[in-house]
Amino acid sequence: MSTNPIFTGAGVAIVTPFHEDGSVNYECLAKILEDQIANSTDAIVICGTTGESATLSSKEHLDVIKYTVDVVNHRIPVIAGTGSNETAYALKLSNDAEKAGADALLIVTPYYNKASQRGLVKHYNYIADRVSSPIIIYNVPSRTGVNVLPETYAELSEHKNIIGAKEASGNLSQIAQTIALCGDKLDVYSGNDDQIVPIMSLGGKGVISVLSNICPKIAHDIPSLYLDGKCKESAELQLKYLKLCNAMFMDVNPIPVKVAMNMMGMEVGPLRLPLCEMDDAKTEKLHNILAEYGLV
């Protein structure tokens, strides 16, 4: 992997807390950010999928990035989600995030349009040519309908500004092929909390984590132990928290993690439609799992 990654370890894919009226709760966001930093989180990923970026207005999106940059104040990297299914809008978001002081950009594949692999190359290179910040490609086919193939990563990794991938395809064979093809030109991060150790065993640099919202120290320790050569201890911790990792995806992300945070007294508020609360049976199941881990 590259000699100068944006971060190694665990970056938190942080939620966006809302007031009951649906407006952004900045006071709560500041508390969450401080708590993450105090618990050794290695990077903040703001306005990603878990941050409900799809329902933030352009102004809110930029305001949340700016606020996060100000609160974090260079203590750890801030990576801003700036992807869109319109290349021009993704570029505008990216340029705005750069001006706001973000350290790097997380750019999801264009969703719904279902770009070809050739289209993906054009999309990412168009943006990369017009920004100065490092870009992490976000591959999450289950949400976008698009999958970045290893050969496409290899072509994109030739661009000096395209330095990483958040891999949430779940396909370890494909991820292995990507790392084999790209070598030190692409830093690969697990996009799934249940695959941190397997991906790091192939040369991955860590995780962009949903789990970290409720267990920042654990999410940090799994990759940190691995990086320290304590592979067995890392794997044991991964397996110990597997049930909790899976519980965060018992409904559409970020529904379970926000419900869990509210159960834990973190008061992150409601979800924005079309996301909504879970049914009673799932809510009870989630509460029981949190109780098993001593979180409620």
Q: Is 217 a catalytic residue?
A: no
Q: Which of these is catalytic: 124, 138, 189, 226?
A: 138
Task: List the Cα angle 100/105/106 in 5-degree steps.
Answer: 135
Q: Which of these is catalytic: 66, 124, 153, 166?
A: 166
Q: Is 138 a catalytic residue?
A: yes
Q: Just list the catalytic residues.
A: 138, 166
